[in-house]
Chain A
Amino acid sequence: MTSIDSSEAASALSDIDSIVRRVRQSRIYDLTSRMLILWGALTFVGYLVTWLSPRHAGYAWVAVYVAGTAGWALISALNRARSGIRSFDIRIFVAFLLFIAFGIFSCWLGHFTPRQMGTFWPLYFMMVYTIVGLWVGLAFVAIGLSIIALTLIGYFFVGEAFDLWMAFVNGGGLMLGGLWMRRS
């Protein structure tokens, strides 16, 4: 029979806590990486349409949000079937709607130009992303801060190709972040 003292027992429990945290983080990263790749691809298309045909930008972004929300629900349903863990429910959906509504309200209140809106939305999303990362994992913080920095560089220093810049920075950044998260 194995006999240990309290410090060894505490060390064993600490090892258990550490591995449980890593498993949870790994599962969050696994699900989030799929979401990031989905939203990254859609955002890339949204900015590309905005750059190529600004008149159709409004329709493109509505389509991006509808497709993104449907894809989010689908990925969550597949994840639930595979792992038994529920990751999409009505409260999360309502929180997302409130988040979007507040963003629209801010754009209306600030009378943002299209360029300012193209800057505001990624900053708004990535700010929340970075804050969430403080609890769930530093990969979120790294992705969030990188996209915020590149977005601001684009806003201040990139001229007419701003939307094209954002397609790669925001859309491409989310996709790269998703792939990186998948490996970490």
Chain B
Amino acid sequence: MAELDDIIHQPLRLKIMAALNALPAAAPGLEFSRLKKLTGATDGNLGAHIETLSKAGYVAVEKAFVGKKPQTTVTATAAGRGAFARHVATLQEIIAASARQP
């Protein structure tokens, strides 16, 4: 059986990756404020977990100014999408294996 991805498995990081993977690959990602609303995380917590995902190469973070407001956009990388797909497949395998046991 494939292994779970320790980086993605943490609950908030799993939500972040799920949210970013719900977008088409060509889409420009999600703004920090939108991710915060979707995941229900605090600024600090969300920032720290995005940093962990970024260091792993699973997300790309882009900071820009829209007018005078700073805007941070987070996008899943190809590596992140692949890792997330494998992680989901592993979760499904665990459930299937459990169902096969007598």
Contact = CB atoms under 8 A, between A and B. Distances in A.
Interface of A: 1-6, 9-10, 12-13, 15-16, 19-20, 22-24, 26, 82-85
B95 A19 contact: no
A23 B22 contact: yes
Interface of B: 3-4, 6, 9, 11, 14-15, 18-19, 21-28, 30, 34, 37-39, 88, 91-92, 94-95, 97-99
Contacts of B3: 1-2
A19 B18 contact: yes
Nearest to A1: B3
B24 A84 contact: yes
A4 B98 CA distance: 11
Contacts of A24: 22
A9 B94 contact: yes
Nearest to A17: B18
29 contacts: A1-B3, A1-B4, A1-B6, A2-B6, A4-B9, A5-B98, A6-B94, A6-B95, A6-B98, A9-B91, A9-B94, A9-B95, A10-B95, A12-B9, A13-B91, A15-B15, A16-B15, A19-B15, A19-B22, A19-B39, A20-B18, A20-B21, A22-B19, A23-B23, A26-B34, A26-B38, A83-B27, A84-B26, A85-B24
A contact patch SS: helix
B89 to A, nearest CB: 11
B26 A22 contact: no
Contacts of A6: 94-95, 97-99
Given A6-B98, A12-B14, A84-B27, A23 B88 contact: no
